[in-house]
Amino acid sequence: MAFGMRGTRFRAIANLIIAAVTMAGTAGAMSFGRALSKFIASPVAASLGAMIIIGVGAATILASLDAGGAPHGSSMLDRAPRGRWRDATDRVSNRQAFVLGLALSLNNVASGVGAGVAGVPPLATTLLAGAFSLVCISGGSAAGKPLARPLLGSRAPLVSGLALVAIGTAMLLGAL
């Protein structure tokens, strides 16, 4: 949505590159988490995974707030000059999509390790990460200008952090 608010569009191939990189990052992180869980008792592993997800959510919330408590926008995007994330046609190039995919997949690393430790199914999670990436990049970019600005604006990172805390809490309480 942040890109859409800036008028940046994604070609289908760029969107696929971002989804593939996101899936690879998620699969790797979850595999590491699953391997780690073999050394930890199952209930402890599940609680640890949930706490990691809560921690990532809390860090996201804190990062979205400035000293006065006002939400920040996506700092990577706000600081990037126009030409860095889009070309003269306002479209993201394939190379830029790969770099963006790497940056976005870093968001999945800690959560992926936590989910792997907690025993969340890796194949389904990896496929869902790719599918949601495809839908959210294209849909978010298209909806960014008309919807995100009035509804979420710069609060999107805060909402994302709150969602992670809620998911981790539900896992910790045994609801997921």
Distance CA(171)–CA(138), nearest Å, equals 30
Between 157 and 12, the higher pLDDT residue: 12
Distance CA(26)–CA(126), nearest Å, equals 6
Q: How far is CA 170 from the centre of its chain?
A: 19
Residue 75 banded pLDDT, cuts 50, 70, 90: very low
From 19, 18, 1, 30, select the one nearest 123 (Cα to Cα): 30
From 70, 35, 48, select the one nearest 114 (Cα to Cα): 48
Residue 79 banded pLDDT, cuts 50, 70, 90: very low
| pLDDT score for 7 | 64
pLDDT-wise least confident of 10-19, 36-45, 130-139: 36-45
CA dihedral 108, 62, 43, 110 (to 10 degrees): 20
Asked if residue 131 has pLDDT above 90, the reply is yes
Asked if residue 82 has pLDDT above 70, the reply is no
What is the average pLDDT value for the chain, to the nearest integer? 75
